[in-house]
């Protein structure tokens, strides 16, 4: 049985459809190639970033100290902490205990060495008193200082005839015998501003003025 031939109009439509299908297939191939190219480019970029990150991480790891990489505390801090924990024990074992009187005597002696006023010789030949200043703000009891520190060689000051301790004020009298006075003994809470004279210098007549040589 012989097949019937297509009519001219149907054959033309079939050819047009085949051409359209061929065009669509070719476009699909082009799109697929473009997708492959984009994916390959993205993979290359990611690979480059991974290499750079690995290099930067290696450099950072080399710059870190070993104890940070290992996660352990630094050795100097550990040693210092151990030394601090053991320090009081070594001090207690090696240093004998001192009585309260001995500790007070040593502290007062140290304060006297740094707080004793030193007179200064002026250009007119007489001794002028040092500037008024505050010494140690912590004043030990006068009885303790008298019993443990005072001796025949150390100078005494003030109405109480004791050594220098605590805060003191200097008399501005030229011929003042005691020179320095404890604030508590002269009923002062702080060093006064300006000139200050003790009771003896206030009652003393004013010294005659000396003529200056030509």
> Among 153, 152, 186, 151, which residue's Cα sits nearest to residue 168?
186
pLDDT at 78 over 50: yes
Would you say residue 12 has pLDDT above 60? yes
DSSP letters, 38-97, are HHHHHHHHHHHHHHHHHHHHHHHHHHS-HHHHHTPPPHHHHHHHHHHHHHHHHHHHHSPP
Separation of alpha carbons 121 and 129, rounded Å: 8
By C-alpha distance, which of 154, 160, 141, 163 is closest to 198?
160
Note the pLDDT of residue 20. 93
Q: Which two tokens stand for residue 69?
A: 């990489």
Per-residue confidence (pLDDT) for residue 127, from 0 to 100: 45
- Average pLDDT score, the chain: 71
Closest to 142 in 3D by CA, of 182, 172, 177: 182
Among 55-59, 94-98, 186-190, which stretch is predicted with the lowest mean pLDDT?
94-98
65, containing H or E segment: none
198, 176 Cβ separation under 8 angstroms = yes
**Which residue ranges are tagged as binding site for Zn(2+)?**
158, 160, 171, 176, 182, 185, 198, 201
**Would you say residue 22 has pLDDT above 80?**
yes
For residue range 162-182, list pLDDT tens digits in order. Answer: 888 888 999 998 889 889 999
- Intra-chain end-to-end CA distance of the chain, in Å: 163
Beta bridge partners of 181: 169
Binding-site residues sit at 158, 160, 171, 176, 182, 185, 198, 201
> H-helix or E-strand containing 180?
strand 180-182
Per residue in 87-134, pLDDT tens?
554 444 444 445 566 666 666 666 655 554 544 433 333 344 544 544
Predicted TM-score (pTM) of this structure: 0.30
């Amino acid at each position: 049985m012989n097949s019937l031939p297509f009519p001219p109009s149907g054959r033309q439509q079939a050819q047009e459809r085949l051409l359209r299908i061929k065009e669509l297939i070719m476009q699909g191939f082009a799109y697929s190639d473009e997708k492959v190219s984009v994916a390959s480019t993205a993979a290359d970029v990611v690979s480059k970033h991974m290499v750079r990150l690995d290099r930067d991480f290696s450099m950072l790891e080399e710059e870190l100290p070993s104890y940070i990489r290992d996660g352990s505390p630094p050795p100097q801090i550990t040693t210092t902490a151990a030394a601090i924990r053991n320090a009081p024990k070594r001090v207690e074992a090696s240093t004998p205990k001192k009585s309260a009187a001995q500790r007070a005597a040593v502290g007062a002696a140290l304060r006297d060495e740094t707080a004793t006023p030193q007179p200064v010789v002026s250009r007119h030949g007489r001794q002028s008193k040092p500037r008024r200043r505050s010494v140690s703000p912590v004043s030990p009891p006068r009885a303790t200082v008298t019993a443990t520190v005072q001796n025949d060689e150390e100078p005494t000051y003030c109405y109480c005839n004791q050594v220098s301790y605590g805060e003191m004020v200097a008399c501005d009298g030229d011929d003042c015998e005691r020179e320095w006075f404890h604030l508590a003994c002269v009923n002062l809470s702080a060093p006064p501003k300006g000139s200050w004279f003790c009771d003896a210098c206030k009652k003393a007549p004013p010294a005659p003025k000396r003529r200056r040589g030509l």
